[in-house]
Structure formats: structure tokens, C-alpha cells
Structure 1
Amino acid sequence: MNYKHPLISCICITGNRPLVLQRAIICFARQDYPNTELVISYPEEDLLSKTIIDQINSVSAIKIIRIVRPQYEKPCLTKNNAIEICNGDYVCFWNDEHWHHVNRLSDQYIVIKDSPFKASILMHILLYDFHQQKTYHSAYWEWQETLFCERKTLLEAAYIDIEREDDSGIIHFLSYKNFLFHFTEASHLYIYIGYGTKDKDQKLFNSYCKDGEIMEDINETVQDVIQLEYYLN
């Protein structure tokens, strides 16, 4: 391990979403933390993601590890495989549909460095309703999408093959062990973008916004930074 700057692996699980994937890759490339790799898992028939990764590799020096998975692989197996394959001392989950601040990795690492904690999670994030074009400050919650964790600890708590696709089991394990640092004042590090492509997803996102606080003063800034066109050049 490089004790000054241990390697952080960001795991991005995607599928046929080339535009948001490109934004996610650029958010990764702009991180101010100096020692990183990006592990991207996409289904074997997803030629769009393959093309985006090929293009990025041709013009950038960022380290990308690609995993081409079976088309109908279960999400828990996909995550376990990515954690097994990555090389990092730490793992950060990197949702391709959302936006990540340039300081996300460094800030989530520094709060657990030289501490008894093995993981950090954001307790407040920003929520952006794509259809209503409104920004909210989230309620206090363990936002699973923002998990940052020591890799060997994640390997201990491997994802179980169950119907539920969320990360509550992992969060419970980390909390039970008192390994989880709750990062309370860093909502700017993560923008959860609610596209509402499925009815159940939109209902869940609406409940998040209902519990949050509308943020009119930063709405224009949020709209600017998440614009896909900004990441296509």
C-alpha cells in the first residue's frame, strides 16, 4: 500500500447509457485525489459503452479496467466481481447517472484516514429533479450510492445473492462493526439526478424530494454542472 496516497478503485456499473457514462468518466478524471483507477462493468451486448471507453482510452491517461459481464447477471454478482477484480486499497461506488464533485474521493478518504473507521458515507446529498428542474437538499439518510470503503472490509461483507438489490446489508454490517463514518456536512459532493425512467424509481425519488429542502439559490449552478453537453467535447 502507498501510505501517502493509497490506490482508490471506483466501481461504475453501467449498461447502454453512453452519455451519462461519459459524464461519469470525466467526473472521475477530474478528481483531485492522485492515485485512482476506474472499474467499469457493462453487459456484453453493450457496444455503446465499449465505444465510449475505447474513445476515452485513446485520448486520456486515466486507468480504466473494463469488465464485460453476461447480459442477465445478477447485480450482487456484478458488484462482487468488480470488488474482486479491482486493485485498490479502497473502493468507491461511482453511479454513472449521478454527478460527482472533484473533491469527492479526497474528502471521503481524509475523514477516515488515521482513524478506526473503515468506510464513509454521505448523510446529506443534493437531489435534482430532471423533469421539474428543481434542486433539493436531502434529508438525513445513509445514502448508499455514496459508500466509500476499505476493500478488504468489503470483501468480508460480500454481497449476498438475495432478491433485494440495495446495499442495506453492507451498510448494516459496517454499522454493526462501528466501521462507518457518517459524513454530515458534504452534500455538495454528490448530486443524485432523478430521471424518472421507471414509475417505481420516480415514486422513490419523489419521496426523497418531499423529505428534502428546496434549494432555489443553487438550482442554476446545479443545472450547469450536470449538463451532458458540457461533457461531450
Structure 2
Amino acid sequence: MKVKINYPLISCICISQNRPQQLLRAIVNFEQQSYPNKELVVSYPSHDLDTKKLMDRILKISHLKIVILCRENHGSLGRIRNQAVAAAHGSYICTWDDDDWHHPERLKHQMALLQNSKLIYQACVLREIILYDRNHKTAFLSAAYNWSGTLLCKKDVVIQYPYQDTNRLEDSPLIEHLETQKLLLPIKGSYYLYVYIYHGSNVIDDIHFKYFTRNGPQLDLKTTQNIIQNVEASYEIN
């Protein structure tokens, strides 16, 4: 008997600006995902010519499903995310930050847990991730927290509870709804799927980064070296 596996289309939302090398790494991470049915929605400002050059080249040589949004105005991060969600074709939305690192099994693992749960969850997040301090070359296991950067959620829920028109905490209404209605699956023990890269210009400032690493152990040298090898990898387009 053949069992048909359901792979709904996941749209990964990637908001970028003036950092083509980091965006390229995020695209490589996306390409390496083992999950078969996925698309990448990339939004960047029209004046960002380096990113435009990168995306034009990728569209010529790649067979990936990519949706390009060349935005004319800056607007808030929340507004930009809503525009990207509206342009997405998937039935699920996944946050895909361009300055972090995503394990090849991230989409497949999160979707499998969401689909196989006995409860009717609409979304999932990782409860722990790896926090990598790029300036000091140190890595930590994060404190337990609903890391919204790892969110995988049904699109219709995101449409109903859109991002706030702000540059910080723009996902608060969505996360609050999911939590209060018990629709959010918190995934424990899968920290290796996501590396948050702290470089000093993140939305999370230095005080909050230190807070989230305070209760989490620093990772050993061998593990840290493997993380550095992954996140510091240099990519070129032939």
C-alpha cells in the first residue's frame, strides 16, 4: 500500500536590505532544505542595487520558486512583512531572516511535528535556539522562549492577525493570539535547527542578547567551531 505524504507549500518570508552576502547565505540555506514544496519571498528596497544584481543573477541560474518584491517605500518592518505575506502563494508562512542560519532539516522537521500533533495547532516555534556572538566567536544555548524568528504558521491566521505597523515586536498580536487560543506548538530540544547570529545591529540589542544567554550554557569549543564553519561560510555565484 502506498501512503501519500502531504507537503503543503511553505512560503518563506525574507526581508532584506543592503546585505547581499547575508541574503545569499539565506538563499543557500533555503535551497538546501530537504522539504520539497517551498517558495522564497524576497523583499528589498528599489534603491538597493547590489541586492537587485544578486537576485537578477539567481533568477537566471536557479530553478527555485522565488517571489521578488522590489518595494518603493521603506515603511515599517511590520508593513513590509504583511506585503510579503500577501504576495506569498503558500498555505503556510515561515519567517526566514537573512542574517541567521537555518539547518537543512528546519522546514521538514517543524512541518512534520505540526502535522503529526494530536492537537489542532495552527503554528509552531522553537523553544530553544543557538545564539552565536559573531564579534566574540562564542555560542550559547538560548534560554527557553518562543522564538518568533522560527515561526511556521498557517497563512490564513497571519492574514487574520497581521503584523503591527512597527519596527519591533511587530509579531506580538499574532503570537499572542496563537498562545491564548492554544494554537501554538512549542518545539523543545531542536535548538540545532536555528542559529541566531548577533552582530551588533540586530533588532535584539546587547542587553537582551546577554539576558537570553545568561541562563543558557556556553557551547563547547568543537560545537562552536562547527557553528562558525556554517555561519561564516562564504558563497559565490558562478
TM-score > 0.5, shorter chain as reference: yes
Which stretch shifts more, 210-219 or 141-150?
210-219
* Equivalent residue number for residue 195 of structure 1: 199
- The one of 147, 150, 162 aligned to 1:146: 150
* Equivalent residue number for residue 232 of structure 1: 236
* Equivalent residue number for residue 213 of structure 2: 209
**Deviation per residue, 1:64-103 (Å, 9 max, x gap):** 1011113421111111111111000111000000000000
Structure 2 residue 20 is matched with structure 1 residue 18: yes
Q: Write the distance in 1 (CA, Å) between the matches of 2:167 and 2:34.
A: 37
Q: Write the distance in 1 (CA, Å) between the matches of 2:196 and 2:35.
A: 21
Q: Write the distance in 1 (CA, Å) between the matches of 2:18 and 2:203.
A: 19
Partner SS state of residue 13, structure 2: strand
Partner SS state of residue 68, structure 1: strand
CA contact (8 A) 1:123 1:142 kept: yes
* Equivalent residue number for residue 65 of structure 1: 67
Q: Write the distance in 2 (CA, Å) between the matches of 1:24 and 1:85.
A: 19
Structure 1 residue 114: deviation in Å?
A: 4.7
Structure 1 residue 54: deviation in Å?
A: 1.3
* Equivalent residue number for residue 173 of structure 2: 169
CA contact (8 A) 1:127 1:138 kept: yes
Report 1:1-233 matches (<5 A): 4-115=6-117, 116-162=120-166, 164-197=168-201, 201-216=205-220, 217-229=222-234, 231-232=235-236
CA contact (8 A) 2:46 2:70 kept: yes
Structure 1 residue 202: deviation in Å?
A: 2.7
What is the number of residues matched between the two proteins? 231
Q: Write the distance in 2 (CA, Å) between the matches of 1:68 and 1:62.
A: 18
Q: Write the distance in 1 (CA, Å) between the matches of 2:63 and 2:227.
A: 28
Q: Write the distance in 1 (CA, Å) between the matches of 2:140 and 2:165.
A: 34
Q: Write the distance in 1 (CA, Å) between the matches of 2:153 and 2:228.
A: 29
| Structure-2 change in CA distance of 1:175 and 1:61 (3 Å) | same
Could you state the TM-score of these two structures normalised by the residue count of structure 2?
0.91
Could you state the TM-score of these two structures normalised by the residue count of structure 1?
0.93
Partner SS state of residue 213, structure 1: coil
CA contact (8 A) 2:164 2:171 kept: no
CA contact (8 A) 2:164 2:170 kept: no
Structure 1 residue 164: deviation in Å?
A: 4.2
CA contact (8 A) 2:142 2:215 kept: yes
| Structure-2 change in CA distance of 1:118 and 1:232 (3 Å) | same
Q: Write the distance in 2 (CA, Å) between the matches of 1:158 and 1:6.
A: 21
Structure 1 residue 227: deviation in Å?
A: 1.4
Q: Write the distance in 2 (CA, Å) between the matches of 1:104 and 1:220.
A: 21
| Structure-2 change in CA distance of 1:75 and 1:126 (3 Å) | same
**Which amino acid is 2:64 matched to?**
I
Q: Write the distance in 2 (CA, Å) between the matches of 1:228 and 1:50.
A: 22
Which stretch shifts more, 92-101 or 63-72?
63-72
CA contact (8 A) 1:195 1:202 kept: no
List runs of 5+ in structure 1 lacking aligned partners.
none
